[in-house]
Amino acid sequence: MKKTNEMNRRGFLRAATLAGASLCASPMLNSAKAETASIAPTPSSPAMVKGKRTLGKGSAAFTVSAMGFGCMGLNYHRGEHPSEEACIRLAHEAIDRGVTLFDTAESYGPFTNEALVGKALKGYTDKVCVTTKFGHKFVNGVQVKTEEDSSPANIRKVCERSLRSLGVEKLDLFYQHRGDPNTPIEVVAETIAGLIKEGKVLRWGLCEVNADTIRRAHAICPLTAIQSEYHLMHRTVEETVLPLCRELGIGFVPYSPINRGFLGGLINEYTQFGPNDNRQTLPRFQPDAIRQNTRIVEALNAFGRTRGYTPAQIALAWLMRKGDFIVPIPGTTKLAHLEENLRATEITFTPEEIQEIETAVAAFPVVGSRYDALQESKVQK
Ligand SMILES: NC(=O)c1ccc[n+]([C@@H]2O[C@H](COP(=O)([O-])OP(=O)(O)OC[C@H]3O[C@@H](n4cnc5c(N)ncnc54)[C@H](OP(=O)(O)O)[C@@H]3O)[C@@H](O)[C@H]2O)c1
């Protein structure tokens, strides 16, 4: 099946190349034209996720599709929000294509993303998993952006609400979204250990934490995954976090793996982000930064042109080749992008190609920080 997909893709690209060449060919080359006509593109079958990966080990092990689906943008922080019906249909398309990992959080919406995901996955939770997150502070349903809350009482409250919103009996993986300076990580780990003992939570993880926090947390309750930003334009985790995950057998889930869409190549300095789209406030998505960073996308385009890969596919395949304990969770609202992204699970690079990509990207220093000062203050260094 997968082989067939690959062959169809190659066949399609070959046919498209030949068809393109035939358009440019001189009218005298009738025999060449006849030959290309016989290699018509075959209808391509749906993209499927290739393979599974295991995040964490021992009692914390979690085996999921090699690529997951980040659900946030379906109705939060990314411009276009399709109807609920369309989102649910897209989630089902992802399941049909072998995706078993869906990521959400209490704070997406807030609350509405979990509710949407709960509806979308109803009837499927015996074969797919959903991960969600606690830790932001809410008062009367409004996020207090200057504070975090990982107090045991809040973790338990969020757990109960997430179970209800998602319509499940156990949370497959419960992440802390951001560290809470008022609650030591040991207290968080012990609270989660209690929830695991009670059968409400199966596994846990942390987002945007440093190596010290990971070690302390893991010593009390084994971690399944770290979820932090990681892509070709943000590689900080390579310094200490990824080596530690490898050492301790903890999985890694890169969030915003296409750099919030930027590495997909469809954003330029004229792109208008809607009022619900947080990219309008992010320094890296201001017109001047976009203009300069576009050179990075052009470098990916140059690499992909002769190989038949899109920049999004190169970005995702590059991440996946960084370790077999890595499972990216790109988000999309479009079936075409879902398929394009899933096909990246079939792409392999030689070490020379990885080097070529990294050298090409490194030629253009990234302009603009990924977060504003408040958000940046919440990620551990
Ligand atoms: N733990 C955390 O703190 C944290 C923070 C942020 C995000 N996350 C998680 O990570 C997931 C993904 O993050 P994200 O949505 O910020 O970033 P992303 O996956 O890097 O990018 C999503 C954006 O890329 C576009 N896109 C997707 N595929 C594309 C393609 N092939 N070509 C061109 N554009 C494409 C999407 O637009 P279309 O809809 O038009 O395809 C969407 O706007 C979220 O859903 C969430 O679950 C976690």
Phi-psi region of 209 (alpha: psi -120 to 50; beta: other; left: phi over 0): beta
Whether residue 315 contacts residue 258, with contact meaning beta carbons closer than 8 Å, is answered with yes
Tell me: pLDDT of 79 over 90.
no
Test site for ligand 1: of 256, 318, 319, most ligand atoms within 8 A of the Cβ:
256
72 touches ligand 1 (CB under 6 Å) = yes
304 touches ligand 1 (CB under 6 Å) = no
- Tens-place pLDDT, residues 215-257: 999 999 999 999 999 999 999 999 999 999 999 999 999 999 9
19 and 84 in a single domain? The answer is no
Q: Is 151 inside a domain boundary?
A: yes
Nearest CA to ligand 1 atom 25: 261
Q: Is 305 inside a domain boundary?
A: no
Test site for ligand 1: of 337, 338, 372, most ligand atoms within 8 A of the Cβ:
337
Once rounded to an integer, what is the mean pLDDT over residues 63-78? 97
Q: Any residues with CB less than 8 A from the CB of 140 and at least 6 apart, and which? A: none
| Structure confidence at residue 275 (pLDDT) | 86
20 and 79 in a single domain? The answer is no
154 and 61 in a single domain? The answer is yes
Tell which atom from ligand 1 comes closest to the C-alpha of 265.
Answer: 33
Tell which atom from ligand 1 comes closest to the C-alpha of 333.
Answer: 39
Q: What is the total count of domains within the chain?
A: 2
4 and 87 in a single domain? The answer is no
Q: Is 76 a catalytic residue?
A: no
Residue 150: domain span: 49-258+325-346
Task: Report CA(187)–ligand 1 centroid distance (Å).
Answer: 32
CATH number for the domain including 147?
3.20.20.100
- Tens-place pLDDT, residues 112-151: 999 999 999 999 999 999 999 999 999 999 999 999 999 9
| Structure confidence at residue 37 (pLDDT) | 36
Q: Is 221 inside a domain boundary?
A: yes
Task: Report CA(78)–ligand 1 centroid distance (Å).
Answer: 8
Q: Is 170 inside a domain boundary?
A: yes
54 and 166 in a single domain? The answer is yes
Tell which atom from ligand 1 comes closest to the C-alpha of 104.
Answer: 47
pLDDT band at 20 (very low <50, low <70, confident <90, very high): very low
Tell which atom from ligand 1 comes closest to the C-alpha of 227.
Answer: 1
Q: Is 179 inside a domain boundary?
A: yes
Q: Is 32 inside a domain boundary?
A: yes
Task: Report CA(278)–ligand 1 centroid distance (Å).
Answer: 12
Task: Report CA(265)–ligand 1 centroid distance (Å).
Answer: 13
- Burial label for 353, CB within 10 Å (0-12, 13-18, 19+), is middle
Q: Is 280 inside a domain boundary?
A: no
Output the pTM of the full model: 0.90
Tell me: pLDDT of 30 over 80.
no
Active-site position among 76, 108, 175, 309? 108
